[in-house]
Chains A and B, each alone.
Chain A
Amino acid sequence: MSEDVWKRRLARQRRRVELLEQLIEDKTRELFLANQRLQQSNTHLEERVKERTQALQDALSRAEAADLAKTRFLAQMSHELRTPLHGMLGTIDVLSYTKLTHRQKELLTLTHRSSNHLMVVINDILDYTKLEEGEMALDLVATDPGQLLEEVIEDFLSSASSKGLTLQITSRPETIGVEIDQHRMRQILSNVISNAIKFTTTGGVELRLTVDALSPEEVQLQWSVRDTGIGISPKHQANIFEPFKQADSSTARTFGGTGLGLAICRRLIDIMGGEILLESQPGEGTTITIITPHKVAFLAPKAASKPTPSFENIDVLLVDDNRINRVLGRDMLSLLGCSPRLASNGYEAIEQVKQAPPALIFMDCHMPRMSGAETSKVLRAQGYGGPIIALSADISLENKEEVIAAGMQELMGKPYHLTDLAQLISTWTSATPSHQLSPKQPPQDATLDIEQAVMAVGGNKALIKELLALFLTQLPIMMDAVRAAMDDPKAQHRAAHSLKGSSASIYATRLSQHAGLLEESGKQGICRPDLLGTLEELAQETTAAIQAELT
């Protein structure tokens, strides 16, 4: 290679090196600047992330505070709503035992029904809130599920009958003992049965209960409620268990309801570890099947009935800071034949007990200065050994545990009925009420409503006496017919129908209503000899009342 070419190659390579060095320097500078911009951008981004994180934390804190406020508000509302409701229902109860005209009784019945409905709605909302908060716990007790179902169905016989529907249990197992939260299971079954009746216009509702053993310690119950009602379209079946939803908006207008019932049922069943299934054909009917697992439990044998002293003059102390509740409680206790004493706070109660210990204390939980639990602790420390029953609108498991821990015997939820009060006094004093009370007695209940009977015959007292005397001669014959018909549903239906009509005509309402139950069972093809005992008692009561009237 010539020297000239060498020189040119060398010069080219030198220029190449210089150029490359220049390029490296330029790129290094560019890289440095880019790096600086990147760092600035990074810092800016970090600041923004910090600001956003803070904003999110603030929003979260606000949401949590609002949530807490909501829970507190609902707990407070629970108390605030139940307290006046207790005043209303209790007053209606007491009022129904006073002398009222027919029109007044009608109005009282309407008030009673509306108050009960309001309580159901409030309970639904509070239950749903508790379920949403995850605060619901089960109160399991040994129960015979078949018996439970029988008891639930009792509450619906008359509403089904008044719509001309049949309501019957077509299959149930022999007596078994399983752990059930009775209150919640009743709530679920009542909801499903009441829906079935509500959405059925012809035909009826059929209930089945079957039991499958899962292991020696565990069984699975399958409760099925089948109706011949309007059914639910496939489109609406998917959201029927969602809260605040009914099959469609026209359902709410036609049938009413909060749309919470089935949502609550489903959540309660979830807590129980079970499931709820729906099968429905529009126009043909719906079957709801509830499957729940239960532990096998030992059923305590029923205590043999023994003669018990009456409520007459039982010394009962009622402690409540609310004046209406005190007045109402006094009237209710007096109505039962007890001798009520009143205390408006814990200090007064302690003083009264010191002077003369009562046979039984009803103690309100929420009282200013000294709560029911605190008062009870003091009473126990001072040696009071009688039963103390807590009264509260809060019937949560926690509250139950708290009252038991304070030395009280049990918790009675507000509002309560006269019958609830009587049952508790009976349980804790082994006494029976001086006055006969029918459970959850509607205001129009009466052994013999002579005023109405007289009004019905235009005020002709002589005529009504003739009718009553005639009824007295006919009653034993009608009762014989009923007794003889206990193994033949058709005969039971006929005989009870006759008794129902005759007793209604002289306004022996309770006898008439009970005969109505027998009549309805007979119509459904079910013999109910178990209802005969009460019927006999009512017949005797009615006879005594008529005899008193005639003399």
Chain B
Amino acid sequence: MVNTLKTMNKSLLAIGAVVVLSILPIFFHSDSYVMNVLMLCLIWGVVAASWDLILGYASVFSFGHLSFFAIGGYTSGLLGVYLGVPPWIGMLIGGIAAAFIGILVGIPCLRLKGMYLAIVTFSIQFVLPTIIVMTGPGMIKSFNSGGTFGLQRIPPPVLFGYTFTKSELVPWYYLTLVLFLVFVYAIYRIIRSPVGLAFIALRDAEPLAKNLGIDEYRYKLLVFGISSFIAGVMGAYYAHYFAMISPATLGLEVFLIVLLMVLFGGLGVFPGAAIGAFVVTLINEALRPLLEWRLVILGAIVIFVMIFMPKGVAGIPELLGQVYRRFLGTKELRKN
């Protein structure tokens, strides 16, 4: 009984969230800045949720998730710019390329212990910008990555004869929303599938799970592939939306912002990362007027969240409870 109520509440919340997200353009359709920020929330929400799949559920310290985002973006972008491949097919190929490289990286990395895995995946993300810059205008003439300034003029997608343009953001918004819902639902299904249950078992009771015959390595490789695929498709979509992608996506700044989204939502708490994306994107935008100080403050927020909110937003009631007990609770006890 209680359980059905709980699931009903959850589905009601989910439906409510979808309704709110779909009517938002009614209020903001004329403000292109707000529309842009909302779409960023949706895009990063998917990326953060796919990262949480590997970081929170599979408990693999993979710190190179944004490399797959960039690989997807560059693959689809290069195909679109130089070979005229339609964006939809480009996005699919971008996702597949990201998944392929993800598995390629996963094969050696998943044998490493946690700390080393973090270092190696992190280093891979830091080497990519150099490779991208080096395959820029100076080195390769006809198929170059655009170097430091990024790959420009990536074509927009076309749907039933309609070409998406930057002058009309509402169609873009609904397209992004559809992608967001599809991927978030897919991630939800993965978590609820036997694969997801195997991870939760591995995370919460490793010896038992292994005794039951769960092949840790294979499952982790699978999730490496799946989460890289999702990140790759979103990277490709991002590239088509902004009509460009640059190596800056792979910098420490974006890395910590997206990581912060995952942390804000709480590791391995399902819609958490997607919610975290909204919170963090809005904070990030609110900090923009502070110029260079923005990153200093963001770093401080990372530290603060890790120390005081280890369970993310889901832990806030508990945190408030602790504060309450510490500062107010004792007085009430005395009164009684």
Instruction: Tell whether A and B belong to one assembly.
Output: no
